[in-house]
Structure 1
Amino acid sequence: YDKARQIKNTQDQYCTKALAGEWKGLAPDFPEDLQWEALVDVLRGRVKVHTHCYETVDLDDLVRITNEFEFSIAAFHHAHETYLVPDTLKAAYGHPPAIALFASKSRFKRESYRGSEFAPRILAENGLQVVMKSDHPVLDSRFLLYEAQQAHYYGLDSNLALLSVTGTPAQVMGQDHRIGFIKTGYDADLVLWDSHPLALGATPQQVWVDGIPQLSSPHVNHKPASSQASPQTPDFNKEALDAVKYDGLPPLEPKTSNDGAVVFTNVSRVLTINTEGIEDKFIAEGDLGVVLVRNGKLICSSIALFCGEDLLASGKAQFIDLAGGWISPGLTTFGSVLGLEEIEGEASTSDGYVLDPLLYKVPEIAGGDNSIIRAGDGLQYTTRNALLAYRSGVTAAITAPKSAGFLAGLSVVFATSAKHQLDDGGLIQDVAAVHVFIHHGAPSVSTKIASLRNLLRVFIGQGEVPLVIDVDNADIMASLLRLKGDIEEELDTSLKFVFSGASEAHLLANEISDAGVGVIVSPSRSYPGSWEKRRILPGPPLSQKSNLLELRAHNVSVALGVPGAWEARNTRFDLGWIALEAGDSVSKKEVLALASVNLQQLLGVHSFETDLVASKGGDLLDFDSKVVAVISPRRGVVDLF
């Protein structure tokens, strides 16, 4: 910066003399240096500065530099800790920078560890401009609006949430004279949404670029009337205050655990799990109901108050108003390394990768090349991702060992709320399934399938333990289906195959169904991020169905997974999106089963007393509700948030 300033000052002196006609002693050539030209233009305000900056100490350094060298910053990007120092940002030279950030993606590296879902609202409340971003392909830009929807859910005003992906970024880029607003003379870049843009699952019915429609045959689903208005989002005021109070690391454990009597009032529906799946325990058909829980167990549910009438009179119970909310089974997450690491990019916080026998010589002390690692041996409890998932209704997780090769090992089932493995109910099932990964790359796909053939003969021939194969390419899936048939015939057995990831599974929906193979779709909204995922089924408006719904239509046993540990908390919204796209073809009970009963059945999880989740203001599947309690019969308590 100092070198650029010296050049700028020299240029200014040159121009001052030239304009004054003082040519004597003036150099024949204008003083410039191409190496520093861009930075000189920054100091002149001709170039908009966008800087990638996360932590408060770096934000403070850069703000001081702007004042020392007198230039402005257009926006800080990613900027996970900006909400902690709004006054520092407002001290920047010229004008405060805008803040471009994710809604809920955090903890992928140390600098993002203090990121908060409440950052957009806190920044806006301090008068700073907010831009929601995707950093494509980190997040799929096709769903940029979802970032604004989440920001609104956690407290950003609706007008600012919409501006965060329209007018504000246009202004920050210096393009608000032609895009970002609907005005006469502006570019005719428009979107017609099938529901309110801040409603979950809002999908374009048509897109115009320069006035030209882009979708020749858009697939449009009917959305409910409730989706036509901005969501009535819950109250997160205390949580937002705590995010700042605790410097970005507020306590995430339940504020209280009640092992006595708890009465939930104004309940509209109660769902529980039985041997057949998810069943209705109570539905309010007029007056809202009352649910009594004692020692973590549901005692009764009724319209009348007699469930808790005696307790109300004695004052010995805690009463919680659900305001028309639901009590439903806790969700289960699978597909990420939740519970094996705290920060994705920091090796010191992770269990680490298993040694793959196709790439390394596994030491004999670890069992040699025939060893199968157990994820349960490396579990880390109370990670922030796990606790945030718990507060969002995800009460159990199924996690396989972390692998960058072929053989991962044996997955574990654990409670996201537990303090450690020895905690009551902390370890639900030590071993669930065997996991392998088969993708393009060294060693070859054919080598991996040959290894799997041997593995099936030696270890899994009896078919008692599910084999979960992480695979995306349809050609590889076809080879695996043929392998399954060959081994079953050879060993006269029945194998339990499950495909996870499965981006191209829809191309083999009939064959997968005929073979009795289950599929865990992850992510729920497919993205062609690599060659072997290129033939995705994108879902509306580009296709009638998504990958998951197409498989389900062919009677494939399907469940939902998430790729990233930070995404586990958003499982409820992924399910809600699926419900909206499915319409009347899938009930809410069936949708909830995708991340509970179905997932557990596919992954060999034995039946256990499932936690129940109480959501205030609605069911788990929309932006109107908030998880306020978890009822845990295994631990005999009700956790309150």
Structure 2
Amino acid sequence: MVKADQARGQILGAVLLLSLLYLYRPLQLWPSSVHVPAHASAAVSRCRALQMQPGPPDDFHERTESDRFVPGTSPHLIQNAKMWTGSNNGTEIFRGDILIDKGLIKGVGHFESAALLKTHGSELVVVDAKGAWVTPGIVDVHSHMGNAASPQLTGASDGNSPKGTIQPWLRSLDGLNTHDDSYPLSIAGGVTTALILPGSGDAIGGQAFVMKLRKTAERSSTSMVLEPPYTVNSSFPDPTRPPRWRHMKHACGENPSRWYASTRMDTIYAFREAYNTASQIKKQQDEYCSKALANEWEGLGEFPENLQWEALVDVVRGRVKVNIHCYEAVDFDGIVRLSNEFKFPIAAFHHASEAYLVPDLIKKTYGPTPAIALFATQGRYKREAYRGSEFAPRILAENDMTVLLKSDHPIAAVTRNAAEAMGMGHRIGYIKEGWDADLVIWDSHPLALGATPVQVFIDGVPQLENAHVVQKPDIFQHSPTVPNFDKEAQEAVKHEGLPPLEPTSVGRRPVVFVNVRSVFTPGVSGVGELFSATDDSALGTVVAEEGRITCVGVCAVDVADATVIDLQAGSISPGLVSFGSPLGLEHIAGEASTLDGPIYDPLSKGGVPEIVGGDGAIIRAADGLLFRTRDALLAYRAGVTSAIVAPTSYGVVGGWEVTGVHMRVMQSLSGPSVSTQIALLRRLLLRPVDGPSKVWFNKVTNGEVPLVVEAHSADIIASLILLKREVEAVKGRTIQMTVSGGSEAHLLAKELGEAGVGVILNPARPFPFFWEFRRMRDPQPAWPTSYGHTAISTLIAHNVTVGVGIVEIWDARNARFDIAWAALEAGGTMSKAEVLALGSTNVAKLLGASPPSKFKQDLVATRGGDLLSFNSKVVAVLSPARGLIDLL
């Protein structure tokens, strides 16, 4: 019995010893019988990380300091603000204060500055918003700034790679130029964050990156990236935290077909082949991880991966926000099928001009319904965009789809929705405690025409110095009312983007406009105010017959025999005159078979064929006129009743129209030097070449018609002023000269005024597209800062006659808003009649078609406001030349 107890004790002691030895032995993850490779721990961590979905960590909003905080940045208290917070589907408005510190919004509510000064010290900067609107910083979901160079320079563009149709391994970050002029300009417009995408020439152009536009002390591209994916700075992600969202650019349709893929069929197959490759790699990884996590290491080897395809594998795993350049229904159909075949979600379709026609198709995309990122009005520049509609955002929203508005380089669509679509809604796009301190203080309602930032904060750092803003009427502090376009929206869908645009004409029957607030008419000296009601009780009546006004004010008329139109405090004003685009010479800019085309350049290698007239030839734009182009009809329905159009030219000689001779002098690597172009112009003015052009250049030197020269550089404009003096000295008479373009004309405002040279600013709001556009403001700002006086006000102050033109034909319909915006920037220094003249009589005069002797100006009737108002709608055009009134 004793021996048995002793034996039992020995056994228990041995078990206890073995247990202690087991507990205190070095930790082993796998049984000793399994051969564990050296890379096992890393492989297991990698496999576990693959199971995690992107997004912020759970404790993200517990942070007390932003990862982008700039030490030394003072805390700011913005008081008395009217905030559009981004909450409640972007509709919440809150009146109060915002405290920002450490790069974050620390609080939204009502704060006592005295109490905050005690806690934050004298560093606290108190900003009294005085009831101004404050919004989250604008988020642009489709931008190429820094990759598509501004100004455009040889070797500075990194948009597309010509090395293949499918290239998910490329990264926009690797071509980002931090010195690009577009950054400070975008900040000055309230943009704080942008998704920088590769170009659309490739079916898969590469990876995109979300950038904060604020330049950093490091001055590097990487330091501007918001939440850079861990793979950017290291080979493996942090296994303890969820991965960050990645972004990728795809493209379908015309662009990849034209660049590399040949046809849509090639493009879709290239997609399928690429996604099949990525899916196979994903399958191999999943099989590997299944064994690794089950401790089955025998013969397992290394984790299967491929550097070229790893980003696309992440797409299949649902860890990448895929943004797809896609326009037409046929292309949506192909991509929707692709997403379901390989089971990957799509963040947004971009451009998407036909999305409003096929919402149910897009909802069939694998995963959540993609957002739709649209231009506001740009369209018809190629076949894919021909059926685009300005009513698309409304129609899509009515179909419960998320709408984004973007620039392709301009409120919920550019703040909250945009942030969410990029996977960044946890930190930008809202005014909420704990979110990034990216804010814009506006001088007017953010949706009002010409709304301008007073201050922009990015990561709590103020970006603007001495912002140039002007006092605007109280109406601009309220959300603009919108005319009723129910019928037009329905027609757009009914006719698949091509609704009928022709007006209904009234000939002999009188038309009576009632409840008219004002009437403006053109005259020899410009636009004059014929009638103005003092208040709503004094609204007047206008009677028109056969296109002519026969009575204004109090009129006796038999309405039983008339067409009566209630303008609802609207107005009648001169129809606008469009210049600067090939309006009426093109149906679709990107389709050579639908347009007039460019003229011969005498300085090119081929020159002008002798059969056309040789060096003495001159081309007439009217000979290439195309009737019923959609852009012309849309412009007409927006108050543009006339267009003066020069032949399309990529060379020096532009051609002629009944009103004058058109030339262009610009810097170009592919063309002749500027000095050569000026020499040609001097020769044609002083010793014209025999032929038809001689007649017209003699008319110029006789002062009968103007010489219209497209030029932007102040240096070139200075040479043109000197050339004008030279020709006038030789000919002994004054010649008419107009500069078109004129981005830098304000630098020579005094000289232009003294020389009697007029300027048609084109575009109205310049941008540094090319080097010779860069000095577009005076004084040139030390970026980023304010602008001084506008180009228009500077030129007018020096007695320069100024008109406003356009560049692209789709923009003709926005002419009335361009001139209204220009007037707002001038700070109330111009009367309404003078503003209307910018887009009508001034343009006609500068181009040699001065009303009324040479140019019978149409009149435009608007309901709900005047032609310059956001809330007005063009309802009729009075045409005395044609003897009728068009009802729209």
Normalised to the residue count of structure 1, the TM-score between the two structures is 0.90
**Counterpart check, 1:611 vs 2:858:** yes
How much does 1:33 deviate? 2.4
Within the alignment, does 1:199 sit opposite 2:432 as a pair?
A: no
Q: Gapped runs of 5+ residues in structure 2? A: 1-274, 689-696
- The 1-side partners of 2:582 and 2:725 are apart by 31
1:322 match: secondary structure? strand
Summarize the Cα distance change of 1:237–1:538 in structure 2 as closer, same or farther, 3 Å threshold.
farther
CA shift in 2, pair 1:279/1:384, >3 Å: same
Shift of 1:319: 1.0
- Do structure 1's residue 633 and structure 2's residue 880 form an aligned pair? yes
Letter in 1 for 2:677: K
Alpha-carbon distance, 1:22 to partner: 3.4
How far has the Cα of 1:8 moved from its partner?
1.4
Q: Which residue pairs with 1:10 in the alignment?
A: 284
* Equivalent AA in structure 2 for residue 243 of structure 1: A
| 8 Å CA contact retained: 2:664, 2:709 | yes
State the SS of the aligned residue for 1:227.
helix
Say whether residues 1:87 and 2:316 are aligned partners. no
Maintained 8 Å contact 2:746/2:778:
no
Q: Partner residue of 1:341?
A: 586
Shift of the alpha carbon at 1:568? Answer: 0.7
1:437 is aligned to 2:664: yes
Q: Quick check: 1:282–1:301 contact (8 Å CA) kept in 2?
A: yes
1:319 aligns with 2:319: no
Alpha-carbon distance, 1:296 to partner: 1.9
Asked whether the 8 Å contact 1:526–1:547 carries over to 2, the reply is no
Deviations 1:286-324 (CA, angstroms, capped at 9, x unpaired): 42111111222211122x4x433xx23xx2211111000
C-alpha distance in structure 1 between counterparts of 2:716 and 2:823, whole Å? 30
Name the CA shift for 1:307/1:301 in 2 (closer, same or farther; >3 Å): farther
Partner of 1:163: 412
Instruction: Report % sequence identity.
Output: 57
Match of 1:453 in 2: 682
AA of the residue aligned to 2:540 = G
Query: Structure 1, residues 523-544: CA drift from partner, whole Å, max 9, x if none?
Result: 1111111111111117998223
Give secondary structure in 1 for the equivalent of 2:860: strand
Question: In the alignment, what sits opposite 1:236?
Answer: 485
Give the Cα separation in 1 of the matches to 2:362 and 2:490: 19
Displacement of 1:583: 3.1
Q: In structure 1, what residue type is equivalent to 2:611?
A: I
Q: Secondary structure of the residue that 2:828 maps to in structure 1?
A: helix
What value does the CA root-mean-square deviation take over the aligned residues? 1.5
CA distance in 2, matches of 1:317, 1:592: 29
CA distance in 2, matches of 1:253, 1:50: 37
Q: Pairwise mapping of residues 191-270 of structure 1 onto structure 2 (< 5 A)?
A: 191-270=440-519
Distance 1:591 1:218 in 2: 24
Classify the secondary structure of the residue corresponding to 1:234: coil
Q: Per-residue deviation at 1:482? A: 1.0
Q: Distance in 2 between matches of 1:387 and 1:80?
A: 19
What's 2:634 paired with? 388
- Which of 710, 728, 731 is equivalent to 1:488? 728
2:598 aligned to which of 331, 353, 374:
353
Q: 1:258, 1:490 → 2: CA distance?
A: 52
- Supply the AA of the counterpart residue of 2:543: L
User: Which residue in 2 is equivalent to 1:472?
Assistant: 712
Amino acid in the other structure paired with 1:47:
V
Q: Distance in 2 between matches of 1:46 and 1:535?
A: 43
Residue from 571, 582, 592 that aligns with 2:836: 592
Question: Would you say the 8 A contact 2:747–2:778 is kept in 1?
Answer: no
Structure 2 counterpart of 1:621:
868
Contact 2:790/2:826, CA 8 A, preserved across alignment:
no
> Which residue does the alignment assign to 2:422?
173
Whether the 8 Å contact between 1:523 and 1:561 is mirrored in structure 2 is: yes
Tell me the alpha carbon deviations over residues 311-350 of structure 1, each in whole angstroms, 9 at most, x when there is no partner: 23xx221111100000111110101111111111111111
Structure 1 residue 9 displacement after superposition = 1.8
Tell me the residue number matched to 2:120: none
SS of residue in 2 equivalent to 1:16? helix
Helix, strand or coil for the counterpart of 1:34? Answer: coil
Look up the SS of the partner of 1:192 in the other structure: strand
After superposition, what is the alpha-carbon deviation per residue over 1:557-597, rounded to whole angstroms, capped at 9, x for unaligned?
11111111111100000011112122331001001011111
**Alignment partner for residue 120 of structure 1, among 375, 393, 415?**
393
1:629 CA displacement: 0.8
Change in CA separation of 1:10 and 1:258 when aligned onto 2, cut-off 3 Å:
farther
Task: Give the Å deviation of 1:230.
Answer: 0.3
1:416 aligns with none
Q: Secondary structure at the match of 1:164?
A: helix
C-alpha distance in 1, partners of 2:873/2:585? 27
* Cα separation, partners in 2 of 1:195 and 1:538, compared to 1, 3 Å: farther
1:399-418 alignment runs, 5 A limit: 399-411=645-657
Residue 813 of structure 2 is aligned to residue 569 of structure 1:
yes
The answer to whether the 8 A contact 1:527-1:538 is kept is no
Helix, strand or coil: the match of 1:35? coil
| Structure showing greater Rg | 2
What is the SS of the residue equivalent to 1:550? helix
Distance change in 2, residues 1:164/1:258 (3 Å): farther
* SS of structure 1 residue aligned to 2:875: strand
Distance verdict in 2 for CA 1:255–1:12, change over 3 Å: farther
1:221-255 Cα offsets, whole Å, 9 max, x none, are 00100100000110011101111100011111114
Counterpart amino acid of residue 824 in structure 2: L
CA positional deviation for 1:258: 5.0
- Matched residue of 2:848: which SS? coil
Cα offsets for 1:50-104 (capped at 9, x unmatched): 1110111000110111111111000111111111101111111111101111011
Task: Give 4+ residue runs of structure 1 displaced > 6 Å after superposition.
Answer: 538-541
* Aligned residue type for 2:556: C
**Distance in 1 between residues matched to 2:532 and 2:587, nearest whole Å:** 40
User: Does the residue aligned with 2:877 lie in a helix, a strand or coil?
Assistant: strand
Distance (Å, rounded) in 2 between the aligned partners of 1:257 and 1:11: 73
Q: What is the aligned partner in structure 1 of residue 322 from structure 2?
A: 49
SS of 1:385's equivalent? helix
Q: Is the CA contact 1:196–1:227 (under 8 Å) kept in the aligned structure 2? A: yes
Secondary structure of the corresponding residue to residue 372 of structure 2: strand
Q: Letter of the aligned partner of 1:299 in structure 2?
A: T
Aligned residue identity for 1:593: A
Counterpart secondary structure, 2:769? coil
